[in-house]
Amino acid sequence: MTALALPPTGLRFENIDKRYGGLFALRRVSLEISPGECVVLAGRNGSGKTTLLRIASRIVSPTAGKLSFPGAVNDSAAGRPGYVAHTTMVYDELTAEENLVLFAKLQDVPEPAARAEELLREVGLFERRDSAVRTFSRGMRQRIAIARALIHRPSVLLFDEPATGLDPLGISWLAKTLGEVNRAGCTVVMSLHGESEISALATRAVQLDAGAVVADTKTGASLHSILSFGGA
């Protein structure tokens, strides 16, 4: 993986609330993630992991509280987190290359075509660069989504349940890729169920339940218990 263009960045959640009508998806969540950490968010379905990641990605705004990125160069494209979710967030009708060039251009990435090609090679989709994303398998869709998230060389990568729907080969590849990204200096935050090759990369784990932080390896909880409780 190519090295980062910018200094490492952390994430700071201060008393984040997210309400939908009367329901709290997140309650007074405060979390400080240091630059370069690889954090796993664990918890049952509905515990607030996806909401927290969407807030971190800035797609969703919190009802209350503050989100900041210590170390980031304000508001430039590279200061924005990369975000991978359940869908590819690219256009099915366009080719892999067209999609990446589009997102590169929008984020003012220098030499968008060259950067797109570079990423396609890194995720192993160069041969399929002229195929419409519509024709991709689940594993390939995962890879184009990652390429899109990394196109602007973000210093924070957010990943919502990366292993869903992947076969063991896919999971190995993903673990290898995420490891490389993290070693290159990118802060990684991902939500997971249960233990796997991917959770093994974690330097820290945080457990959410009913929208609140209930355990954190930073304050002494064990990685294993956080991950198994979340999976069960």
Partner 1 sequence: MTKRILLGVVAIALVIVAAYANFFVAPTERTMGVIQRIFYFHAATAWAGEMVFFVCFVANLLYVWKREQKYDWLGVTCAEVGIACITVVLITGPIWAHPVWGIWWTWDARLTSTFVLWLLYVSYLLLRTLIEEPGRRALLSALFGIFAFLDVPLVFFSIRWWRTQHPAPVIMGGQGSGLDPTMSKVFFFNVLVMHIFCVFLIVERYILEKLRHDVDLLQREAEVQ
Partner 2 sequence: MALFSNTATLLGKELRTEFRSRELLTTTSVFILIVLVLFSFATNPGTEEAREFAPGLLWLAILFASSLMFQSCFLREQANDTLSSLRLAVSDPFAIFLAKLIANTLFLLLTEALMLPFFAIFYNITVWSQLPILSLVLLLGSFGIAIAGTAISAISAQARMRELLLPLLLLPLLTPVLVVSATVTGSLLDRDPVIQWKGIAFLGVFDMIFLTALWIFGQYFLEE
In sequence order, the 6+-apart residues with CB closer than 8 A to the CB of 171 are 163, 196, 197, 198
List the single partner that 85 binds among partner 1, partner 2, none, CB under 5 to 8 Å by kind.
partner 2
Phi and psi at 162, nearest 5°, equal: -65, -30
Of 106 and 200, CB closest to partner 2: 106
Could you tell me the CA-to-CA distances from 47 to 20, 193, 214 in Å, in that order? 14, 12, 10
- Nearest 5 degrees, angle CA 181-CA 185-CA 190? 55
* 80 makes contact with partner 2 (CB under 8 A): yes
Bridge partners, 83 (sequence order): 158
The closest alpha carbon to 9, from 76, 63, 86, 90, belongs to 76
Q: Which of 3, 23, 169, 232 forms a contact with partner 1 (CB under 8 A)?
A: 23
Query: In angstroms, what is the minimal distance from the CB of 12 to partner 1?
Result: 23
Query: In angstroms, what is the minimal distance from the CB of 229 to partner 2?
Result: 29
* 91 makes contact with partner 2 (CB under 8 A): yes
Of 23 and 169, CB closest to partner 1: 23
List the single partner that 180 binds among partner 2, partner 1, none, CB under 5 to 8 Å by kind.
none
* CA separation for the pair 154, 43 (Å, rounded): 26
Could you tell me the CA-to-CA distances from 37 to 9, 57, 88, 216, 225 in Å, in that order? 10, 17, 25, 13, 20
* 19 makes contact with partner 1 (CB under 8 A): yes
Give the range of 15-23, 39-47, 90-98, 175-183 binding partner 1 by CB under 8 A.
15-23
Q: Which of 13, 17, 20, 132 forms a contact with partner 1 (CB under 8 A)?
A: 20
Q: Which residues bind partner 2 (CB under 8 A)?
A: 54, 57-61, 77, 80, 83, 85, 87-94, 98, 102-103, 105-108, 148, 152
Q: Which residues bind partner 1 (CB under 8 A)?
A: 19-23
